Structure 1
């Protein structure tokens, strides 16, 4: 399998329309090229969110806390299927229905590496039972923890540099979608 940096991502315009493709490495080289991505939020049946601390080897925002998993759909592939595959690979969660909450578009430069995230980020939400088995890939994930959304919002406000720069925006998109997504209902109640 080719390295993740050599895999292709779909470049998009400001409205999410496809404009071509580039490698992950090229899309994340300054100044960054807007491309399709996904961020998966997982909630357990008690309403807690799964966070992962990104592995030290990540080329962007290493060792920062982020949502359950992130990735890039391969051009022409199904967004939901690619996100479900990434969730299995990165966290070990299987057979979880993912639902579209909305899109978060952002640009952030990693001060440690100079790499750039400029993403048209599809926010997906899923639910797992309390105590669901997790098998994080140590090449991708340094550690995981479950947190109540209200506590996460407090931590994001108090220590934003501990978190991936997209996490607050992704959480807001999922919270706004909560009335139409039973999987995200806990986000709106805190």
Structure 2
């Protein structure tokens, strides 16, 4: 990734209002911008957890969902998910489907650094094990979905703030992640909706 990679800035209605360099976006006054989260599953219904690299700007060393990232300006979100799965984890997805189109959050670290994102959530299915990129991922492990959700909801597993907010919403879709119905792309923020398509 290059230092001049740009992210899409959005207003409260999710409309694109410009771009900014990713390298300068995350700070104490982080502007609202477009992102995504992805939960990767294998054929056994296990979810892939990752620990953020220790040098990450936000929440370093914290366990979280499989993959997060930002679409480039004009890039469909599903394509951004596929790009980051390859870059961060060396994975090629068999399917990538939208689950939570309207998810958004704001979280602040103890030092004041903020995440402030409209962050649709995706489910991906893969075959094979990850090959983590140490620039992004400190560790990765598979975990049965029910065990993961139980541990997050009971507070036994320390997890990133966005993942902590997403898990109850995903759990509400049903106990079997393979049976979750894909969401309507019409629910995406306008900045992401125009060029969205499901990747398979």
* Normalised-by-shorter TM-score class: 0.7 to 0.9
Question: Residues 6 and 73 of structure 2 are in contact (CA less than 8 Å); yes or no, is this contact kept in structure 1?
Answer: yes
Change (3 A) 1:148 1:176: same
Question: Which segment is superposed worse, 47-56 or 26-35?
Answer: 26-35
Change (3 A) 1:33 1:178: farther
SS at 2:119 equivalent: strand
Of 134, 137, 146, the match for 1:141 = 137
After TM superposition, the score normalised by the length of structure 2 is 0.80
After TM superposition, the score normalised by the length of structure 1 is 0.84
SS at 1:166 equivalent: helix
1:188 corresponding residue in structure 2: none
Query: Residues 88-103 of structure 1: matches in 2 within 5 Å?
Result: 88-102=86-100, 103=102
Q: How far is the alpha carbon of 1:32 from its aligned partner?
A: 1.6
Query: Residues 11-26 of structure 1: matches in 2 within 5 Å?
Result: 11-26=9-24
1:2 maps onto 2:2 in alignment: yes
Query: Residues 3-152 of structure 1: matches in 2 within 5 Å?
Result: 3=3, 6-102=4-100, 103-111=102-110, 113-129=111-127, 132-152=128-148
- Structure 1's unaligned 5+ residue stretches are 186-190
Of 150, 154, 158, the match for 2:155 = 158
- Structure 2's unaligned 5+ residue stretches are 181-200
Question: Which segment is superposed worse, 89-98 or 23-32?
Answer: 23-32
Change (3 A) 1:182 1:55: closer
More helix by percentage: 1
1:169 corresponding residue in structure 2: 165
- Deviations 1:61-83 (CA, angstroms, capped at 9, x unpaired): 01101111110001111211111
